[in-house]
Structure 1
Amino acid sequence: MPSVVALGHLLMDIQLYLADKPDVGEAALVGELRYGGGGSASNFAVAARRLGLASAIITSVGFDGFGRVLLEELMREGVDISRVKIVIGQQTGTSFLLVYPSGDVKVFEYVGASEAVEPKDLSDAAFKGFDHLHITMYRLDTAVHAARLAKKLGLSVSVDPGRIWSARGLDYLRELLAEADYLLLNESEFRALLRGDVGEAFGLGIDMVIVKRGPQGATAYLRSGEIFEAWGFKVEAVDTTGAGDAFDAAFLAALLEGRGVDYALRFANAAGALKTTRKGARSSPTREEVEKFLATRNI
């Protein structure tokens, strides 16, 4: 089976499901409170494992209760945690998420111990035996070092910068993106980072830019000039947290298995859509669930 290693955050998500959307200064009732694992890299690692890939994560947590719970959860999912750094004296990173009735989410993130992995902590051994490295927002020096090590060993590399990295602009990420094969963005990140111009990415050496548009589908722009598009799926969304990570895992899984870009987009759109019908960042679907979903839509 293909194998992937993810670099990024492992966080405890505290999710507040609101009954309505209050304005500033107003109060709102919380219909449900949930705790669970989160952080884009760990969401990706779990999603990839459920799709049948071997997966591992490079990250860090505090020496505390949250950290222990998060590591136990990853082990239950079959994710390799041997590259997780345990930090004494810092709290495990935590995200506070407001989930609105529409399923849209507002995120407040406390990084805490999440970015303690330094370049000196990584060597070739962290990547040997893997096919692909997926990088989400992390400390930039570590991300660049990881990408260079992975490329040297023949791994393909993808980057999903997320909102915060994308908002910092292309110059901030230029050194990292020069090592990437795939760049995965949602529509707002596409505008913020590339100003809607894929040529900026191709100029850095990236082979493919994938733009995720939720229920409107997704588009893959290739350096060759080819463009692939796939329609999205209308579902009853209850929580969009982690949907982009589920998409990333499914898209890259399909490519690593030798599937074409058109199939990879459809497979990823289905995985992302299914994720939004379930609460929690880690509720991504299995391969069987995605294939059944596609079969019912004659795709």
Structure 2
Amino acid sequence: MSARLIQLSGVIIDMIYSVDAVPAPGTEAVVYGSAIAAGGGFNAMVAARRAGLDVDYGGTLGSGAFAGIAEAALKDESIGILRPRLDGQDQGCCTVLIDRDGERSFIASSGADGVVTDADLARIVPGAGDWLLLSGYALHYPGSRDALTRWLQAQAGRGLDLVFDPCPLVAELPAEAVSAALGAAAWVTANAEEARVLTGLSAPVEAACKLAEGRKGGALVRAGAEGCWLALPGGAVSHLPGHKVAAVDTNGAGDAHTGTFIALMAQGWAAAEAARAANISAALSTTRRGPSTAPAWDEVQSVLERAEAPA
């Protein structure tokens, strides 16, 4: 049986507005473009699929108009749905503001994606070679936090290839839930600020080393255009520089990085090479507008081949 990624975190619907600037309180933004699209847990799944990995959605899919958009998007990307739909509750949504510099700001609210029970998780049966991805958002929502925390506590020491992405709300997560996620995760991938919150260490290289301690895999600390720091257990750490591009929209870049990294690791790549390719995927994703803009694999491969070609 081939490896796959199982996404444990929910798909939501992004309502995306391209604005001159995020408005000050009491004012209105000047909008020059808008779109509605699947987002949240969807973005990393898309990146993994485009990098050649089979993907299944293990999160909750509800009912209603937003759930219909999410289901159609999953099917368009050939992503399997592992669980029956939840009746009576639609997917959550996120208002995304993208300013002229390509930076994004979020206001999100959960729906069916934020409802997970013990019985739901019992349906998730990873096979040999499968990887799993969990976002801290799922640990933030009251309707999914407790069941996931119990499930994570039960996975500690079982050797699952679980990747934990703490999310921008990491400082708001309950300590017990964070501890359970860190205890079960083979890999932690976080941006520099999230890594600082988790470790108390401001330097990304030091935070990466701390997050990698005792893991089956290691840790990645992402730093946008600067690339990422890769740390392995035992203190080995390296900086993988970013791929230079003219960014227009950074929404979903971290997810593109994570999905690509998982896909390549699941296909047997060395961690440093997977991280280097993930940097390229994330950078290319910022050159087009939208939340799920991970590039096709041949685009990433082309950049890798040019970098490896003799001068």
On whether the aligned pair clears a TM of 0.5, the verdict is yes
Q: Structure 1 residue 123 and structure 2 residue 122: aligned?
A: yes
Aligned-partner Cα distance in 2 for 1:90–1:169: 25
Secondary structure of 2:263's match? Answer: helix
Cα 1:170–1:277 change in 2 (3 A) is: farther
Deviation at 1:145, TM superposition (A): 4.6
Write out aligned runs for 1:270-281 (5 A).
270-281=280-291
Deviation at 1:248, TM superposition (A): 0.6
Whether the aligned pair in 2 keeps the contact of 1:13 and 1:94 (CA below 8 Å) is: yes
Aligned-partner Cα distance in 2 for 1:174–1:274: 33
Write out aligned runs for 1:208-227 (5 A).
208-227=218-237
Cα 1:271–1:204 change in 2 (3 A) is: same
Cα 1:5–1:246 change in 2 (3 A) is: same
Write out aligned runs for 1:160-199 (5 A).
160-168=165-173, 172-196=177-201, 197-198=207-208
Aligned-partner Cα distance in 1 for 2:128–2:305: 34
Give identity over the alignment, percent.
Answer: 27
133-142 or 43-52, larger mean C-alpha shift: 133-142
Whether the aligned pair in 2 keeps the contact of 1:16 and 1:98 (CA below 8 Å) is: yes
Deviation at 1:296, TM superposition (A): 3.5
Aligned-partner Cα distance in 2 for 1:149–1:172: 12
Aligned-partner Cα distance in 2 for 1:128–1:152: 16
Secondary structure of 1:63's match? Answer: coil
Write out aligned runs for 1:105-120 (5 A).
105-120=104-119
The number of equivalent residue pairs is: 297
Aligned-partner Cα distance in 2 for 1:205–1:140: 23
164-173 or 147-156, larger mean C-alpha shift: 147-156
Cα 1:224–1:214 change in 2 (3 A) is: same
Q: Structure 1 residue 51 and structure 2 residue 51: aligned?
A: yes
Cα 1:116–1:170 change in 2 (3 A) is: closer
Aligned-partner Cα distance in 2 for 1:184–1:172: 16
Cα 1:260–1:224 change in 2 (3 A) is: same
Deviation at 1:155, TM superposition (A): 3.5
Cα 1:147–1:287 change in 2 (3 A) is: farther
Aligned-partner Cα distance in 1 for 2:78–2:31: 33
Q: Please give the root-mean-square deviation of Cα atoms over the aligned residues, in Å.
A: 2.3
Write out aligned runs for 1:211-250 (5 A).
211-250=221-260
Secondary structure of 2:249's match? Answer: coil
Deviation at 1:255, TM superposition (A): 1.9
What amino acid is aligned across from residue 77 of structure 1 in structure 2? E
Please, what TM-score do these two structures have when normalized by structure 1? 0.90
Deviation at 1:28, TM superposition (A): 2.4
Deviation at 1:279, TM superposition (A): 1.3
What amino acid is aligned across from residue 89 of structure 2 in structure 1? Q
Whether the aligned pair in 2 keeps the contact of 1:150 and 1:156 (CA below 8 Å) is: no
Deviation at 1:122, TM superposition (A): 2.2
Secondary structure of 2:184's match? Answer: coil
Secondary structure of 2:89's match? Answer: coil
Whether the aligned pair in 2 keeps the contact of 1:163 and 1:189 (CA below 8 Å) is: yes
Whether the aligned pair in 2 keeps the contact of 1:230 and 1:266 (CA below 8 Å) is: yes
Aligned-partner Cα distance in 2 for 1:21–1:124: 42
Aligned-partner Cα distance in 2 for 1:285–1:169: 35
Deviation at 1:124, TM superposition (A): 6.0
What amino acid is aligned across from residue 145 of structure 2 in structure 1? L
Aligned-partner Cα distance in 1 for 2:183–2:162: 10
What amino acid is aligned across from residue 8 of structure 2 in structure 1? L
Aligned-partner Cα distance in 1 for 2:154–2:123: 6
Cα 1:247–1:179 change in 2 (3 A) is: same
Aligned-partner Cα distance in 2 for 1:286–1:276: 13
What amino acid is aligned across from residue 25 of structure 2 in structure 1? V
> In the alignment, what sits opposite 1:263?
273
